[in-house]
Chains A and B, each alone.
Chain A
């Protein structure tokens, strides 16, 4: 596609339910990143993929969070047993190459998924 797409755009769920968020990166981009942006907060790094492997999972806040990437393309972020503090906008980005790789590391973002946990 022309840009990074994410689905759903909005997700409302009840506390304790599991949710899956999807990201389709720009075609040909080998690196994919997940971030979280809470109300009034900056962007928080969650995880990044190079191909299908995740060299850096350091930002995942707890073991309730997991992510996978298949075929070097689509990625899914799964949050199990959601809590109210998980409410945030989840942003996905992709770049042609992973860091460090000069200009090929330029990140392009999707529109985000707004998650609300009631």
Chain B
């Protein structure tokens, strides 16, 4: 069965620390993997998409890595800010996307 898991479910860090968010998936035969953030009461905002042939993708303070063989992706957010507080979702495509339950992040000033 194809499943996506995000641990921990919640995370709190002081401002300025680097954030490390984990996503694991069964079945390494993925097409791509996408990271989103969701603010309370809002839709999802796309952060990064990593294709199956890529090892990492970067955008500003965000860096996402992909290791298909171990079924893992990690989202790094450098020098966290209170505005980074949100729920971060990982979605894996084996055809259609399947989502993890998300990691709720709080960055304290």
Contacts and interface: CB of A to CB of B under 8 A. Distances in A.
Interface residues of A, number: 23
B39 to A, nearest CB: 10
Contacts of B42: 111-112
Interface string B33-75: 0101000001111100101000000000000000000000000
Interface in B77-109: 89, 91, 93, 95-102
A91 B43 contact: yes
Given A99-B93, A99-B96, A100-B93, A111 B51 contact: no
Q: Interface SS of chain B: helix, strand, loop or mixed? A: strand
B32 A43 contact: no
Nearest to B32: A105
Contacts, number: 59
Contacts of A105: 31-32, 49, 93
Interface of A: 4, 33, 35, 41-43, 45, 48, 56, 91, 93, 99-100, 102-103, 105-112
25 contacts: A4-B43, A33-B97, A42-B89, A42-B101, A42-B102, A43-B91, A45-B98, A56-B96, A91-B43, A91-B44, A99-B93, A99-B97, A100-B32, A100-B93, A102-B31, A102-B32, A103-B49, A105-B31, A105-B32, A105-B49, A106-B49, A107-B91, A107-B97, A109-B36, A112-B43
